[in-house]
Structure 1
């Protein structure tokens, strides 16, 4: 299997990365080596929250996703990429962490709920890349990713964060086994957000948006909870063929010299001229009153 020299060299460097370089190692994976697949993983992670009824109810009550699905979707991605690109302790990174803590200050939920949301960003992209990327993440990359979210979670005052990727997977799977279920709120959130995906597809492909999603999920329990049609053998086979062809082409191309994300320059219809940090964030933020009115009994 022929691989371009620059891809092979970067993969070698990522394999040999030291634990002390965790932030740079994760940044290289997200912005360069596995950029397209990590982005897809973030995209799929975003949807999984809707399959947890308690989380879906909170998101629906807040109204941001149903009222402003495009902004919520893009802003969520921008916050993540700002943290990865600039570093957790950079000025821009600290700004984003303050935003996250402010937005979630009065959101109802227990530590496991917040930990699950955090770990979707770790587990889902790594699992997707293991199966579908042009190469699997290296052990050093998986350790770096785990350290990144452990550090982020600590700055958000989330407790009992797993220290290894295997532990993160175990928590993630146990939490989903106990909590995934269909809910009207989750289905409504899913329907609102699918419109964002459709808007990014060519017109002829828009009717296939849900089919594409369920093939990427490849999880009947999840698709049932989200109110989506189950993936068919044909849709899964088509996805596998498309990704195999994509990877074959990718392996022969040099590693991109331009990062997948440049702070302030998000190329989207939402921010066509770029964005300022103060542009990012929801309009509706939950208050102490909304929390006390909806605490689980």
Structure 2
């Protein structure tokens, strides 16, 4: 059996890497080899939080997402990608972890709630990539991912973090089985952030955005909770066919030489000229931070 060129290149990179360098393994996966699918997975993880009524009520009361949906969505992505790109213990990584801890002080919730949010960032992107990526994550990459989020969680003072990916999936599925449900707040948050996904798509696809998101979520409980259209047989066929074509092209294309994210890079439309770390975060937290400096 002849392997696709990109697969040979990707697995070769991994084989040459120190198996103990979990942070670099995760960085390579998220910013280079599987960057497109990890990005989609993080976006879907963000949306899932709106399907938890207690959490969505808090987010609406906080006011940041309804007032500034694009900024909040981009800032959430910036935080996680700053941590991945620069490392948890880098200067920029420590600033982002400090920001996360400050934000949590403004968001009431239980330890289980905080753990769920953390696990969405692990489980959802890895499941999406396992099912839809141009290649499946390797066991080394899965181990690196769980180690990354375990280390991040410990810096955020989150307890009872699962030790393996299988345990993370069990916690994640159990939490959602008990907590997912419709709420006016969750639907309002989803409506406010649909434009974020639209900003990533050609204008001709904008009328189909809600159905596309519902099809990618592929879960009737979530679409009902978020007020999204359920996937249809034809929307699933279109999604699967589009991804199949993309993946076949991807397997014959050299791996990206440049990362999908660079610190401070322009991010249209929120940061068209780039950003400083001081720009990132909810305005109430940013104001408190400036007053303390």
What is the TM-score when the length of structure 2 is the normalising length? Answer: 0.94
| CA 1:179–1:263: 2 relative to 1, 3 Å | same
Cα distance, 1:181 vs structure 2 = 0.3
Corresponding residue for residue 242 of structure 1: 242
Corresponding residue for residue 198 of structure 1: 198
SS of 1:37's partner is: helix
**Following the alignment from structure 2 to structure 1, what is the Cα–Cα distance between the partners of residues 155 and 245?**
41
Cα distance, 1:106 vs structure 2 = 3.4
Corresponding residue for residue 4 of structure 2: 3
Q: In the alignment, is the contact (CA less than 8 A) between 1:214 and 1:228 conserved in 2?
A: yes
SS of 2:254's partner is: coil
Structure-to-structure mapping, 1:1-297, within 5 angstroms:
3-4=4-5, 7-14=7-14, 19-285=19-285
**Following the alignment from structure 2 to structure 1, what is the Cα–Cα distance between the partners of residues 237 and 253?**
25
Q: Once superposed, what is the RMSD of the aligned Cα atoms?
A: 1.5
Moved more, 64-73 or 97-106: 97-106
Moved more, 106-115 or 244-253: 106-115
**Following the alignment from structure 1 to structure 2, what is the Cα–Cα distance between the partners of residues 57 and 109?**
11
- Count of residues paired in the alignment: 285
SS of 1:200's partner is: coil
**Following the alignment from structure 2 to structure 1, what is the Cα–Cα distance between the partners of residues 96 and 162?**
22
Cα distance, 1:220 vs structure 2 = 0.7
Q: In the alignment, is the contact (CA less than 8 A) between 2:9 and 2:255 conserved in 1?
A: no
What is the TM-score when the length of structure 1 is the normalising length? Answer: 0.93
Q: In the alignment, is the contact (CA less than 8 A) between 2:7 and 2:135 conserved in 1?
A: no
Cα distance, 1:203 vs structure 2 = 2.2
**Following the alignment from structure 1 to structure 2, what is the Cα–Cα distance between the partners of residues 172 and 132?**
20
Cα distance, 1:144 vs structure 2 = 0.3
Cα distance, 1:199 vs structure 2 = 3.4
**Following the alignment from structure 2 to structure 1, what is the Cα–Cα distance between the partners of residues 140 and 152?**
18
Cα distance, 1:237 vs structure 2 = 0.8
Q: In the alignment, is the contact (CA less than 8 A) between 1:62 and 1:285 conserved in 2?
A: no
**Following the alignment from structure 1 to structure 2, what is the Cα–Cα distance between the partners of residues 266 and 47?**
23
Cα distance, 1:204 vs structure 2 = 1.7
Q: In the alignment, is the contact (CA less than 8 A) between 2:27 and 2:85 conserved in 1?
A: yes
**Following the alignment from structure 1 to structure 2, what is the Cα–Cα distance between the partners of residues 2 and 267?**
36
Moved more, 260-269 or 36-45: 260-269
Corresponding residue for residue 291 of structure 2: none
Moved more, 268-277 or 156-165: 268-277
Cα distance, 1:202 vs structure 2 = 2.2
**Following the alignment from structure 1 to structure 2, what is the Cα–Cα distance between the partners of residues 141 and 245?**
24
Structure 1, unpaired ranges of 5+ = 287-297
Moved more, 262-271 or 32-41: 262-271
